[in-house]
Amino acid sequence: MGVIKKLPVYTEHIPGGALVTTSVNSVLTLAQAKSLWYLLFGTACCAIELMATGASRYDFDRLGMIFRASPRQADIMLVAGTITHKMAPRVKRIYDQMAQPRYVLAMGGCAIGGGPFYYDSYSVLKGVDKIIPVDVFVPGCPPRPEALLQGCLEVGKKIRTLKIDEWS
């Protein structure tokens, strides 16, 4: 993030710096939006659908999405599955370990609000947005791969609207 934090400072010394800043912004957000590397992490049945989306039939790779096994290398966390109270501190910790800029997509009813475990459950967290900020919610139980792909494209659209000094 060092380069990105310093970039506006550099560009201000160039005459017509605003134009350069805009271009850099556009290139960087484009690059970010087209290479969303996701954290390979699934806690319940939604993870099966995530695997199906990553496999050859739906093929995450054509969107530039490649799974990373380490949160340090991941840009986006796809919360695929039920988050229990026991799992919640771990999810928070993985999120904290991700490098900025980082995004979160909550996949399925469980991650959005407890899903089928909303009532009469002692163990399930009622929505992952209680512990980490979520950018896009994809409803379904589980969502179809097409819905997940659209959710990822929505994250990309959101990234394209950001300014580099808003990245955090």
Partner 1 sequence: MTKAELTAHITAGFTGRVQVLENNQPEPYFIVNPDDLVAFARYLHDDPALQMTFLMNLAGVDTGERFEVVYSVCSYQLKHRLLFKIQMPRDNAEFDTVMQVWPAANWYEREVWELFGMTVRNHPNLTRFLLADDWNEGFPMRKGWTGTDFIPLPDRG
Residue (15 or 122) nearer to partner 1, CB: 122
User: What is the Cα–Cα distance from 60 to 52, expressed in whole angstroms?
Assistant: 9
Radius of gyration (C-alpha) of the chain in whole angstroms = 17
Residue 133's binding partner among partner 1, ligand SF4, none (Cβ under 5 to 8 angstroms by kind) is none
Coil vs helix vs strand at 13 = coil
What residues contact residue 9 under an 8 Å CB cut-off, 6+ apart?
none
Q: Identify the residue among 142, 145, 151, 156 touching ligand SF4 (CB under 6 A).
A: 142
For the record, the structure tokens of 61 come out as 């790779």
Q: How many CB atoms lie within 10 A of CB 12?
A: 11
The interface mask with partner 1, positions 110-139, x = CB under 8 A, is --------xxxxxx-xx-------------
| Partner touching 52 among partner 1, ligand SF4, none, CB below 5 to 8 Å by kind | none
Contacts with partner 1, residue ranges (CB under 8 A): 84-86, 88-89, 118-123, 125-126
